[in-house]
Amino acid sequence: MIALGSDHAGYALKQDIIKHLDETHTEYKDYGTFDESSCDYPDFAQKACEAVTGGECELGILVCGTGVGMSMAANKIKGIRAACCSDYFSAKFTREHNDANILCLGGRVVGAGLAIELVDVFLNTPFSNGANHLRRIEKIKSLESK
C-alpha cells in the first residue's frame, strides 16, 4: 500500500499519479488534500508519513509545488527518509542506496510523464541491503535522537 499526500499546488499531479496507480492496480491510500483550495503541506505530509511509520503503508509519495517543502516536513518525522527527486537516477538510487521510504515531487517542477517514470522507478527499485548502505542508514537513524 502506498501513502499519498499533497497540498493544493501538488493536487493536480497527485491526480495524475492516482490515475497511473489505478491503471497499474497499485494499492494506495490518499491522505489529502482533496481539492485545490489553499492548505498547508505539513498537515498532509504528517498524515501520509505516519501511515508509513505506523506500518499501514510501505512507501509514500508526497507532492507540493516544488517537492522541497514536503520533503522538509516529512524528514522531521522519525523513521522517514524522504527524497525530493526530479530525475530518474536520483529516484532510483535513493531507494537502492538510501532505502528512502517517501518520494517527494514538485507539481510545478515535473510534468505528469516524468512524474510517472519517477514513481515507477521509486516503487519498483528494491533496497540493495549492502553493508556500506546499511551502515550509513544506521547513522542517519542515530541523528533522529539528537
Q: What are phi and psi of 103, to 5 degrees?
A: -100, 125
Three cell numbers, residue 53: 511509520
- Arithmetic mean of pLDDT over the chain: 97
- Give the closest residue to 30 by CA, choosing from 8, 60, 64: 60
The gap from C-alpha 128 to its chain's centroid, in whole angstroms, comes to 19
The residue range of the domain holding 118 is 2-143
- Residue 131: is its pLDDT beyond 90? no
- C-alpha distances out from residue 43 to 10, 40, 93, Å: 14, 6, 28
- Residue 29: is its pLDDT beyond 90? yes
Q: What is the model's pTM?
A: 0.97
- C-alpha distances out from residue 80 to 19, 86, 108, Å: 25, 19, 24
Catalytic residues: 64, 97
- Give the closest residue to 92 by CA, choosing from 116, 71, 120, 67: 120
- Which CATH number does the domain housing residue 139 bear? 3.40.1400.10
Asked if 103 contacts 87 with a C-beta cutoff of 8 angstroms, the reply is no
Number of H helices, E strands in the chain: 6, 5
Q: What is the pLDDT of residue 92?
A: 98
- Residue 130: is its pLDDT beyond 90? no
Q: What is the pLDDT of residue 142?
A: 93
In angstroms, the CA 18 to CA 115 distance is 11
pLDDT tens track for 100-127: 999 999 999 999 999 999 999 999 999 9
Number of domains in the chain: 1
Burial of 107 (0-12, 13-18, 19+ CB in 10 A): buried
Three cell numbers, residue 73: 516536513
What are the helix (H) ranges across 87-130? 88-96, 112-124
